[in-house]
């Protein structure tokens, strides 16, 4: 195989592979970021193929090649900016592209001017890339993926200006039209494009894959009815919160909440109303728990809230707010004036507590609240004894919760 053909096929082949991979990944993504990137890589493959094979003749093929390549870069820019929830500056990028293509067309009219075309294409690509790099920098490079993307875009932007200038100075020119695909400029273009396209594609694929894994992990730990964590998700989140609180020397309190007479809601008003009650109860708890708290559905109508930086008394006040908030809510499925109520048990973690023992103590306090008549809050006896003297939760009674 001719070496120039082999080199010319590197970028179309690589871009085509990455485009196919991104299209496959896009099928599992909710947004259009990866799909846009996939289309841009397909454009890179087509654009670079037109450079070498010239199916529409020299002038038109070269013009279309650069137009598609610059257009693909603009499309890729929209995808990279969309990762940050921002819009790419399409107006400025399209203006840069139009100017670049106009100058490039002038280098194709009459006697072909290779230096003019290289300058037009390189500076146009550099300007679009520099604008993208600036916008990415303003958006904030918080993760490793973001920093890699920003660095590679900045690198290719600078390289698009420096590389042809250095080659021109070293060789006294960029070569001839006849030997263009054997020139040092073409080889350096291919190598820099391979680096750029590989870094961008691999970081996008890695980022999208991690997002998919995180979404699956979140789904596995989420209760579909209530929207809060399920028991497994709650326990995992609670362990992380407890460890963090231990490092920071912060108190941790657990609130267990249980809807009163929930079976009657299902029996009298139907399971649709029961489901609505679960969702409303969960929303009430989550709204008052705070952003740092872990909220989960432990099963049935029982929920748990673990809050860092919260003593037993602060946990009691939080539970009282939840209880009162629930009491003023109405359900569409229930008659006017009919309200939901709930009972709450609160326990503050002591150094000897495991998560299981903390849940057990909060559960005992919840039993006490149920036994005392429901629609109230009780605090674990251990937490009360440590504070020397506030109201003590009733002891756990034999039998089943009513």
Residue positions annotated with a catalytic role:
301
User: Which residues share a beta bridge with 253?
Assistant: 307, 348
Helix axes 144-171, 114-139, angle to 10 degrees: 160
Give CA–CA dist 183/176, Å, rounded.
Answer: 8
Residue 293 DSSP label: S
Give CA–CA dist 235/229, Å, rounded.
Answer: 9
CB atoms closer than 10 angstroms to residue 394 = 16
Enclosing H/E stretch for 331: none
CB atoms closer than 10 angstroms to residue 264 = 10
Residue 135: alpha-carbon gap to chain centroid: 19
Are 131 and 90 in contact by the 8 Å Cβ rule? The answer is: no
Q: Beta-strand (E) ranges in 283-354?
A: 294-299, 302-308, 342-348
């Amino acid at each position: 195989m001719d070496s120039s053909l082999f080199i010319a096929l590197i970028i179309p082949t690589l871009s085509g592979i990455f485009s196919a991979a991104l299209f496959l990944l896009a099928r599992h993504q909710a947004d259009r970021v990866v799909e846009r990137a996939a289309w841009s890589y397909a454009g890179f493959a087509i654009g670079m193929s037109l450079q070498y094979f010239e199916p529409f003749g020299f002038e038109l093929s070269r013009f279309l090649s650069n137009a598609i390549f610059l257009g693909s870069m603009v499309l890729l820019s929209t995808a990279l900016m969309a990762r940050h929830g921002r819009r790419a500056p399409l107006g400025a990028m399209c203006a840069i592209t139009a100017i670049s293509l106009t100058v490039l067309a002038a280098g194709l009219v009459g006697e072909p001017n290779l230096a003019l075309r290289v300058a037009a294409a390189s500076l146009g690509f550099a300007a679009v890339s520099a604008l993208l790099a600036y916008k990415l920098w303003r958006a904030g490079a918080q993760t490793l993926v973001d920093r890699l993307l920003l660095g590679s875009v900045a690198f290719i932007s600078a390289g698009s200006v420096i590389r042809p200038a250095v080659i021109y100075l070293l060789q006294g020119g960029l070569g001839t039209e006849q030997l263009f695909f054997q020139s040092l400029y073409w080889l350096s273009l291919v190598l820099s494009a391979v680096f750029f396209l590989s870094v961008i594609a691999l970081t996008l694929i890695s980022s999208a894959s991690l997002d998919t894994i995180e979404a699956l992990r979140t789904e596995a730990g989420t209760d579909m009815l209530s929207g809060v964590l399920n028991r497994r998700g709650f326990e995992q989140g609670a362990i992380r919160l407890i460890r963090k609180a231990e490092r920071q020397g912060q108190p941790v309190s657990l609130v267990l909440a249980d809807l009163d007479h929930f079976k009657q809601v299902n029996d009298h008003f139907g399971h649709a109303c029961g489901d609505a009650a679960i969702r409303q109860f969960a929303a009430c708890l989550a709204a008052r728990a705070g952003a740092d708290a872990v909220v989960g559905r432990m099963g049935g109508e029982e929920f748990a809230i673990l809050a860092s930086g919260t003593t037993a008394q602060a946990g009691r006040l939080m539970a009282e707010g939840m209880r009162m908030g629930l009491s003023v809510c109405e359900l569409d499925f229930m008659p006017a004036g009919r309200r939901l109520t709930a009972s709450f048990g609160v326990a503050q973690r002591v150094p000897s507590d495991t998560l299981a023992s903390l849940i057990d103590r909060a559960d005992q306090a919840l039993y006490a609240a149920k036994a005392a008549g429901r629609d109230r809050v009780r605090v674990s006896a251990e937490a009360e004894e440590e504070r020397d003297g506030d109201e003590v939760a009733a002891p756990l009674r034999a039998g089943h919760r009513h």
